[in-house]
Structure 1
């Protein structure tokens, strides 16, 4: 499989090698029917190959990670991940709400579920009214927004300027801070 830091590789992988890594976990030589878990994993891998180049690498990594997590969730319940039933998605949201994930992370996971279903031409279970209600419960429990970063006032700017040294980087940092906050050097 692709590693999390695709852009940090010393040598870029060819599309052929990348495709082989994505689908290389299949059992060769066995013609047995795939289990629901295996079928969902295979569909996910095929979908990732299909969307490669159309989506940003970070989006593809997020879709893969979130949907793989959902596949394991479904496997533990002996249920189909593709296509998923809305009540299963509701249970998944409940589990994510009880974990340490933020509401933005849960929303991202749901967007990934929706996208993978749409890309495989399945009905979108995330549009079900029960899923919408559970998302509202999740937002009431966890909150919807992240906290705003604090502002930089004159006292904070002075502390930042004092923290710089006399090296070339320190001079650059001081210049950037002064230009950014309206006091050119």
Structure 2
């Protein structure tokens, strides 16, 4: 006898969430070897996107599911009309809380598409109920993008001076700032590094220290790549020296590279540092160093993040653009130019070139 319609539908929780590989209590148990394959498949599904992306997609789906439940609307099957109303509610602030920005709404829409696809369903984002409303939202609410401030060389040196050189936490934070800047690394790439290859299950790369510098092998958004971090001209600003000092005094020889410091700064734990800590470190030291002191305090707090280090390298390195693109792991030069804050500003004066 064929399966009923009810048993063929994906299993769904109260918030509309369910696994891409749903359990089927009405079906016969899988053989052990297939259960193992199913477990591995779930692992591969998780590895297909970053933890931050999965958290955002899960939160957006929950937000959408909650809104639909409050309005008495169903979420399965996907309805362009329902999604159109949801977009309108997000833009107007009727979905709970303040109105969402255009970028937040676009992310929520991407999240819905991804979540539906994981359930074997398709949301047509080109449907007029979605596309036309999104066009109207962009025309009405779109604002220029807010880019994070680039940490330039002088800024970085001032930030380093705010750190305690005599503490383990200070040594660690110094290494994070210098390696993150010189490598043009994302915050997730910084904390995802291990001392060596294949040392942890959650590692996203490893380091090798040579006489000439540091070789970082990592898995980023565009796949595996190698990043070369050469030794600096002085020991005080050399990222390799800072890293070697941290490893020596922290007595780390295996596992995660950057870890939590506990016991009032006297002990190094085994736990890998969270990527949010990199963003907090950049923000805290930039504010303490007085970077962009020309701005009001409240505005300054919004200017800095982990990406400020990445943008700082792109803006500071006076080399051919293709080398910066390779270091940052960008697929296009256009993306690299978005990171080059102020580097080429007014370098070419077309006013004078035109004869004015």
TM-score for both structures, normalised by structure 2: 0.34
Q: 1:150–1:67: structure 2 CA closer, same or farther, 3 Å change rule?
A: closer
User: Which structure's relative contact order is higher, taking Cα pairs within 8 Å and 6+ residues apart?
Assistant: 1
Q: CA deviation at 1:132?
A: 1.5
Distance 1:162 1:88, change over 3 A: same
Match of 2:18 among 45, 48, 73: 45
Alpha-carbon distance in 2 for matches of 1:69, 1:156: 39
Q: Is the 8 A contact 1:89 1:126 kept in 2?
A: no
Q: Is it true that 1:90 corresponds to 2:84 in the alignment?
A: yes
How many pairs are equivalent?
A: 149
- Decide which structure has greater strand share: 2
Deviations 1:95-123 (A, max 9, x none): 11233433333222212211232333334
C-alpha deviation, 1:92, in angstroms? 0.6
Secondary structure of 2:77's counterpart equals coil
Q: Which moved more, 1:135-144 or 1:173-182?
A: 173-182
Would the aligned equivalents of 2:60 and 2:111 in 1 still touch at CA under 8 Å?
yes
Deviation of 1:43 (Å): 5.8
Runs of at least 5 residues in structure 2 that lack an aligned partner in the other structure: 1-5, 24-40, 184-231, 236-356
Query: Counterpart of 1:44 in 2: which secondary structure?
Result: coil
Q: Give, in angstroms, the shift of residue 166 of structure 1.
A: 3.4
> Which structure 1 segments of 5+ residues have no match?
1-32
Give, in whole Å, the separation in 1 of the partners of 2:59 and 2:82: 18
* TM-score normalized with structure 1 length: 0.58
Q: Secondary structure at the match of 1:147?
A: coil
| Cα distance change, pair 68–98 in 1 and its aligned pair in 2 (3 A) | same
* Aligned CA distance change for structure 1 residues 175 and 63 (closer, same or farther; 3 Å): closer
Secondary structure class of the residue paired with 1:64: helix
Measure the CA separation in 1 of the matches of 2:101 and 2:165.
41
| Residue 72 of structure 1, aligned match among 66, 69, 78 | 66
Partners of 1:175 and 1:164 in 2: CA distance: 12
After TM superposition, the structure 1 = structure 2 runs for residues 1-185 of structure 1, keeping only pairs within 5 Å, are: 41=14, 44-47=17-20, 49=22, 52-53=42-43, 54-55=45-46, 56=49, 57-99=51-93, 100=98, 101-143=100-142, 146-153=145-152, 155-169=154-168, 170=170, 173=174, 177=178, 180=182, 183-185=233-235
**Offset at residue 93 of structure 1 (A):** 0.7
Cα RMSD after superposing both structures: 3.8
